[in-house]
Structures are given as C-alpha cells and as structure tokens.
Amino acid sequence: MAIYLSAAAIRESINRLGNSKAKSTLFDFLIVKRSLALANTKWLAISESQPVYVQALDELGRVSFQGNSVNLNHPYYNVFDMKPRSKKYKSNGTNTTIGNPPWRVILDMDDSERPRKSSLAKNYLSSLADFFLTKANAPLPKLADVAIWYHRGQDIKPIVDKEDDSGERLKILSQRFAKEAKLTNDEVKRLFDSSIELDVNTYYFAEKEPHPNDYLVNPTSEPTMVASVEEVEDVSADLVAALASKGFVILTGPSGTGKSRSALKLAEGFQTVYRNKTNASLFALIAVGPDWTSPKRLLGFRTPFGAERTGRDGQNTNESYEITDTLRLMLRASHPELIDIPHFLVLDEMNLSQVERYFAPFLSLMEAASFLSSDNQIGLVDATDLQVIADILGVTDPDSVETESARLLAAGRERLVMPRNLFVVGTVNVDETTYMFSPKVLDRAHVIELAARVPSMYMNTDQVVGFGSTITISEADGLIRNGLELRKQWDSLKNPTDVFDELSEKSFDETSIAQIKETVVKAIDGCFELLSPVGFPFEYRTSNGVCQYIATWIELQRTLGKSVAEIMKSWSEALDKAILQRVLPKIHGNKRTLGESLRAISLFLSGADQDSQPGARYTLGVGRVIGIAPAKKLKLPGEGPQMPRCTAKLDAMHERLQAVGHVSFVC
C-alpha cells in the first residue's frame, strides 16, 4: 500500500514557510542547488537548455499537470511567498533572478560561454542568512517543511517503510531532501530550523495522493496583481506600448496638455497594483533645473563634509554621500524582491538643461545593456561609493528597502547599474528657455507628441479627456512585464525583423508574418532613402526600435482580445506610430537644407512613388532628383488613408518650414 504526505501536512508546511523569515528567493537558491546536484558539477548554466534545471524546477515548483490540474496557466508555485507562477516562469524565473547584481554575493558567473554558467561564490556562506532570511519577527523556515513540499505527490513508502512514527518519518524525509539537494551542514545550519515538531491534531500521511487544490494556498490567484485595481483610472495605451518596447519615452507638446499627469497616472496606478507587495514608492518625480550640468543632480556625489559618524573601522569620520531621490528609486528597483516590478522615473521639464550633460551615463547604459552582461556593465555608481551609501542609509534609514539593496550590492562589491525594470518618462516644453535634443537622445527614446485640444473638448464635458486610447492598469501591468521579458530576448537578435518570428506561436501564419516583415522593411527603407540625402540617415538602433514597437503593439491588441484577422487589418497603425515616434523626431533644419523633402516623405508614406502626381520626390542641389521607385511604393492593408499620423505631422512641419524658414519635430 502506498504512503503519501497528506493534504493537511502539505498545507501546513506551505503556511509555515510562507510566514517564515525566508524571502521568496530562497526558492531560487534551492533550485540552483538541486540543479548542480543533478548535474554533479560545480558550474552549470541555469537555463531551459539544461534538462537538470527543468527537472529541478519541476521537482520544487510544479503543481499543475494534465489530468491533475490546478490552473494550467499557472503551473508553478513558490512556497516561500505562497504565490503561483505562470508558464513563463520556466524561462523567466530562477535563471533571470540570479542574473541580478545582488546575487553576486551568492553565485559567481562565467560569461565565457552562452548561456553563461553559475557556481557558488567563494564566500557565499557568510551571506546566506543576510540574503535570504530578512523578514522581521518571523521564525526560521523548517527543513522538514521544505522536505514535505519536495515530496508532495510522491509515494514515499520506499523511503520511510521501516518507520511508523510520524516524527521519524519526517526526519528521514528531511535528510533525504538535504542529500538530494546536496545541502551542506553549514547551509542547513544558516538557513533552516532542523527540529521536528508534530501537531497532534494533524494526520501527516495518507494512502492516496492528495489533489493540489486540497493543499495549495491561493492556488489560482494572479501572482503579481495582489491588490484590487477597480478604483484606478485607465491609462494611455500609447504610453504603455512605447514603454513596454523601449523603456524610455519623451512626451512633448504645449504646456498644459497633460504630459506630466499622463506619466504620473501610470506610475500611481502601478503603486496601487503593488501596494500589498511593497510599501516603498515605485516612482519619483524629478523637476529638472536650468543649471544641471552633470549627473550629480540625479546620482548624488561623495562629500567629505557630512555629519560626523562612526566609520566601519570604529573611527569618527565626516565622509558622506549626497543621496538623491533618483538614487533611492534605483536602489529600490534593484532589490532582489522588487526586480520584476516596474519602477518609474519621471523627469519633468527634461530639456530645461542640456540632456546630454546630466543624463549622459543613463544614455550610455541604455545602449550598453543590450550587449554587455551584468558582470561587465558600466556602473552608474561604483562599489566603493555604494559602501558609503549603505553606511549612511544604515544610520539614517536602517530598515528601508534601498538600505538593504545598497548593503547587498556593497557586500558583493557590485556597481549600481541601470535596472531593467526602471522606466524613464521625460516631459518636454519647447520655448526660448529650453534646449533641443541631440540624435544621441532621440535614438534611445520614443517621442510622443501631445497636441493642444480644441477648448470645446474640455469645456463642454465633465470628463477629463486624455490623449489617445486607454487601457486598464491591469492590462498595462501585463504588457509592461511582458515587455521586460521580451526585451531580454530581443537583445540577442541580429535582424530587427526577427522580433516578428514569435508571432507564429500566436496563430499568425507564415504568409502574414512575411507580409509584416516586407512592409516594415519597405517603409523604413523609403524613409531612409528620402532622409539620408538631407542629412538625417539612421542606423540599426532606429530600425530595431520600430520593429520592437510594432511587435509590442500587436501584443497589446492580443491583450485587448483582438483576433489575428482584426490585427492583420489594422497593424499598420503601429507602423504609423512607430515611424512617428522613432524616425520623424530626428528631422530639423532650415528651408535651404530640407527643401521639399518633408512633402516627399509624406507622399511616400501615403502611398505615392516618384512617378505619381504629385510624386514622392524632391530635387537636391543642381538637378539631382531623390525619389521612390515604383517598385518600392508602399502599400498598406486597409481602406482608409495610409499613415495618417505621420503624413499629418510631416505636412504641418512642411507648412511651418515654408512659413518661417525653419522647423523641428518638437516645435
């Protein structure tokens, strides 16, 4: 007769582990340990390409199978925070979590191969308790509870058959789990309570395998949406799509059009969504000053003139660090427990000072993050300064999230890099007191223009009218978190149009994907051919941004319930917005430089070629005609006007150029 752990025993173990001192990341550590044990090696790639990693994840996390299903959309479960995990957890779980800089105190990384390999760090034992056991006023997790969870659903008769006493059986299971995960005595001593405590009212064993529904806590709850969001206003779909595809958006338009409010509404919505996950603020509103000439206003700076304190060596010191709100936000975003939660940096009046001066390190890291590993990234704040920051915060704010994050980074001698989950929104006004953006800035951002509204739009209604269409904050959360995952995959692509290949997994046929690719390439090529001769060529980064935005927009439509057929009829809307936000903002100059080029680009995007009347062509210099050959004519799906947003903007810019002799996208 088989012997199984009872539903009551498993449920109680989950409750105790979830309310213990252990953070959810202890789950990831145990998966790494079990993977290394299965592979019988010190170095291993924690990746789906390694069957031992998948096996370890299934052993420690999987609860949903065909025929024994809790929720096939959430087949994994983390007992240390009592939360289900989605199907994407296999590829966006432990292997992603351990790549974050704070983990360097626990794991070393070898970047000589792809996927990179992981191994236990040299002095990891001394950091175990501080890293994984941080919940205040809570007991240590019990090794027996982990063993109960690990052996859920297994016939354990071969393991405990010689024992009848429940306490002895649990002791045997604890020893068995420690052996299979190769947990050392030192690891067990630092992380777990090894005692066995029995509840006389609990039957720990059963003759039949219990169903997961009988023991899971919150078995089908959404793992990240932990708060009711019914009271949160809908947010801009355009802003969300742009942030999901890139992470840096510039909002431009006349004063009073709602630029700052749109960004803050989104950030405040996320604060509500995650209010039960963290008490820390997920956003910071930073007013840029007209005298900013260096990154110090954002990143702070070291100073020898702070308040006197006792240093690490026991001596009195005045060494200090000016800790800014931006730095605090970045530290919070870098915390291992919050690394998957979006954080927002809102830079108000971003161009009151020259962006290239005070924002230069951020601009560099936005580009470097796509091809440098986390171990090799250029830091915004180095390890030495982080130690001072950790010391200062330890005195002024010892229990804060940013203090713990700084301590973890400093302990691992890590630099503070730009977290992937940090989204930047800058607002821009254009007048005689502001500076124009350079190509370095525009290459890294989506530029969304908010037009001034006709007064009757707000004077004849009680409703506040925002810009563009809106989506719920729940939909925004799903799209942005999905964008975080996709951008990690996109970083390794060599051809920008490869982002569309994954559409085959979402019911798009090969013909539809090929049509999207061909049309996007034709549109980008045509813009390049018409812009390059007047001094505005663009390279891979821009083309990549266009493709990624379109892929994100398509994902947004799927989130909203649109069918493949509906998306194929309307996807050119995304192309229109992508060209408007990534290509056209580069254009500026006088009438002599631009000539009739803006009109030619507008005609090309509306479907004309050089032989049309009027034609997509212009004359450069003495008789050189620049135009679009008939074979390169742009034809988009749908019955209405092609690329209406781009053509309207280009026509307006052309008219202003003719009227005043000079034009730029943002004026």
Return d(Cα 98, Cα 111) in angstroms, integer: 14
Decide which of 49 and 128 is more confident.
128
Across 266-271, average pLDDT: 92
Q: For residue range 337-390, what is the model confidence (pLDDT) as tens digits?
A: 888 899 999 999 999 999 999 999 998 888 765 555 444 556 899 989 999 999
- 533 to 423, 528, 536, 631: CA distances (angstroms): 34, 9, 7, 20
Over pLDDT 70: what percentage of the chain?
Answer: 92
Across 83-93, average pLDDT: 77
Q: For residue range 427-456, what is the model confidence (pLDDT) as tens digits?
A: 988 776 677 888 888 888 999 998 777 777
Cβ contact 146:60 at 8 Å:
no
pLDDT band at 666 (very low <50, low <70, confident <90, very high): confident
Helix axes 259-273, 237-245, angle to 10 degrees: 70
Min mean pLDDT across 72-76, 204-208, 217-221 is at 217-221
Q: What is the pLDDT of residue 223?
A: 41
Q: What is the pLDDT of residue 102?
A: 76
Q: What is the pLDDT of residue 220?
A: 57
pLDDT band at 224 (very low <50, low <70, confident <90, very high): very low
Q: What is the pLDDT of residue 52?
A: 95
Cβ contact 412:105 at 8 Å:
yes
Q: What is the pLDDT of residue 74?
A: 79
pLDDT band at 214 (very low <50, low <70, confident <90, very high): confident
Q: What is the pLDDT of residue 534?
A: 95
Cα 519 → chain centroid:
29
Return d(Cα 367, Cα 384) in angstroms, integer: 24
Q: What is the pLDDT of residue 226?
A: 39
Q: What is the pLDDT of residue 374?
A: 47
Min mean pLDDT across 22-31, 475-484, 535-544, 642-651 is at 475-484
pLDDT band at 67 (very low <50, low <70, confident <90, very high): low
Side chain identity, residue 25: T
Q: Is residue 664's pLDDT more than 50?
A: yes
Across 11-19, average pLDDT: 92
Cβ contact 90:31 at 8 Å:
no
- 68 to 62, 64, 390: CA distances (angstroms): 11, 6, 48
Q: What is the pLDDT of residue 466?
A: 53
Q: What is the pLDDT of residue 68?
A: 56
Q: What is the pLDDT of residue 227?
A: 39
Min mean pLDDT across 28-32, 185-189, 204-208, 596-600 is at 204-208
Tabulate helix, strand, coil % of the chain (nearest 5): 45, 10, 40
β-pair type (117-120, 588-590) = unpaired
Min mean pLDDT across 324-328, 405-409, 501-505 is at 501-505
Residue 301, token pair as written in the block: 């700076």
Phi first, then psi: give them for residue 108, nearest 5 degrees.
-90, 155
Q: Is residue 417's pLDDT more than 80?
A: yes
Q: Which residues contact 85 (CB under 8 A, 6 or more apart)?
A: 61, 74, 75, 76, 77, 78, 93, 223
Cβ contact 182:33 at 8 Å:
yes
Q: What is the pLDDT of residue 370?
A: 55
In whole numbers, what is the pLDDT of the chain averaged over residues?
A: 87
Q: What is the pLDDT of residue 525?
A: 97
Q: For residue range 44-55, what is the model confidence (pLDDT) as tens digits?
A: 999 888 999 999
Return d(Cα 334, Cα 109) in angstroms, integer: 18
Across 448-472, average pLDDT: 71
Min mean pLDDT across 131-140, 144-153, 371-380, 567-576 is at 371-380
Q: How many residues does the chain have?
A: 667
Q: What is the pLDDT of residue 545?
A: 93
Over pLDDT 90: what percentage of the chain?
Answer: 55
Q: Is residue 225's pLDDT more than 50?
A: no
Return d(Cα 575, Cα 240) in angstroms, integer: 16
| Residue of 28, 156, 162, 7 whose CA lies nearest to 70 | 7
Q: What is the pLDDT of residue 430?
A: 74
Q: Is residue 581's pLDDT more than 50?
A: yes
Q: What is the pLDDT of residue 275?
A: 82
